[in-house]
Structure formats: structure tokens, C-alpha cells
């Protein structure tokens, strides 16, 4: 596409990206040490500021637009965002395969180069899928996972605790 059409697409993606505060991001905020593991970034309190939910730009054939994604990352970093959330709560996550999600995470991490924290959304319908995703992407240099409980299942506190215990046991990154 022409540069003008490309810029229009990026502008539309920027327009529809949402910003969120990570004040309530981490599971177990009442006890921040409960589910937060990592590399000394300071626990849950280290995630402060504006972390936009980065929309994943697609080409007309619905494949990943890596150039568009890199442009968005540069835009958010240049504009002073404190971190980024990819594959977050924008509703797009179920439409990507594991391979596509891997590519999205890798592209963002390579472009960010640890300049700001990157949080990766991890929403699946089973614990097994969540653990498989973590195993696949964990070596990519990003900072934390945003893990949602599988939907539609009534859970007791013990179930939630066991779920997040399994997730945090699968990674050294913050959850």
C-alpha cells in the first residue's frame, strides 16, 4: 500500500488502542508477593503508569503486519508510555494461533529492546493451553504475563489459588 494508506491504517490502529493503568493488573494484589515472581523488578508495585493495550495490525489478507506493529511500538515508546500490554484485553487474542501469538510477542520484544516493560496477555480456555503458551514464549525477553482465569467456570478461592500457583510455577516472570 502507499505510504498515505499505510499511515491511515496506523492512525486508525492508534485511535482504537485503549490505555489502562496496571494498578489492578497483578493477581493477588492484596498479597503482592503471592503470585509475583521475577527478576527483581520490584514486585507488583513496579508496574505503574500507562500501559496501552497494543492492537495487532493486520494486512488485508489478515496476516500479521509486522511493520505496522513495530510502528505502534515506536509510537507508544516515543509518546512516553510506561510499558506495553500485547495480546491484552482488546478481544483479539482468541483469533490468533499459538504461532501467530509467538510472532507478535517476539516482534514487540525485539522492537522494545527492554526500554520499557512489556506485559503479555495469556488468555486461553484451559490451564493446559496457558502452560503450553508460557512454555513456548517464556524465553523471549519480556517482563510479565497478564493471565486471565479460564472463563465460564465457577471457581472457589482454593481453585483460583491452585490455578495461579501452577502458572507461576511455570515461569520466572511476573504474573
147 against 22, higher pLDDT: 147
pTM of the model: 0.76
Beta carbons within 8 Å of 69's beta carbon, 6+ residues apart: 54, 56, 57, 104, 107, 108, 111
R_g of the chain computed on alpha carbons = 16
DSSP state letters, 94-119 = GGS-HHHHHHHHHHHHHHHTTSS-EE
Do 20 and 52 form a contact (C-beta atoms < 8 A)? yes
Three-state DSSP class for residue 50: strand
Strand segments, DSSP code E, in the chain are 18-21, 50-54, 84-86, 118-122, 144-147
Kindly tell me if the per-residue pLDDT of 29 is higher than 60.
no
Q: What is the mean pLDDT of residues 10-17?
A: 42
Most confident among 17-26, 35-44, 72-81, 82-91 (mean pLDDT) = 72-81
Three-state DSSP class for residue 68: helix
> Quick one: pLDDT band at residue 85, thresholds 50, 70, 90?
very high
Residue 13, judged by CB atoms within 10 A of its CB (0-12, 13-18, 19+), counts as buried
Residue 143 and residue 173: Cα distance in Å, rounded? 6
Q: What is the mean pLDDT of residues 32-52?
A: 58
Q: What is the mean pLDDT of residues 17-36?
A: 35
pLDDT tens profile 107-149: 999 999 999 999 999 988 889 999 999 999 999 999 999 998 8
Amino acid at each position: 500500500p502507499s505510504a498515505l494508506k499505510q499511515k491511515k491504517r496506523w492512525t486508525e490502529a492508534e485511535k482504537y488502542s485503549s490505555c489502562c493503568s496496571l494498578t489492578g493488573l497483578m493477581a493477588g494484589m492484596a498479597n503482592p508477593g503471592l503470585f509475583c515472581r521475577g527478576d527483581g523488578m520490584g514486585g507488583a508495585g513496579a508496574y505503574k503508569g500507562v500501559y496501552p493495550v497494543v492492537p495487532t495490525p493486520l494486512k488485508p489478507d489478515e496476516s500479521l503486519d509486522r511493520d505496522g506493529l513495530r510502528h505502534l511500538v515506536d509510537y507508544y515508546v516515543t509518546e512516553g508510555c510506561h510499558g506495553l500490554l500485547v495480546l491484552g484485553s482488546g478481544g483479539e487474542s482468541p483469533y490468533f494461533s499459538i504461532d501467530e501469538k509467538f510472532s507478535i510477542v517476539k516482534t514487540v520484544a525485539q522492537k522494545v529492546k527492554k526500554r520499557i516493560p512489556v506485559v503479555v496477555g495469556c488468555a486461553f480456555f484451559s490451564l493446559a493451553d496457558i502452560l503450553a503458551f508460557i512454555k513456548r514464549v517464556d524465553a523471549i525477553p519480556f517482563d510479565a504475563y497478564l493471565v486471565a482465569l479460564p472463563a465460564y467456570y465457577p471457581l472457589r478461592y482454593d481453585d483460583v489459588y491452585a490455578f495461579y500457583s501452577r502458572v507461576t510455577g511455570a515461569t520466572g516472570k511476573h504474573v
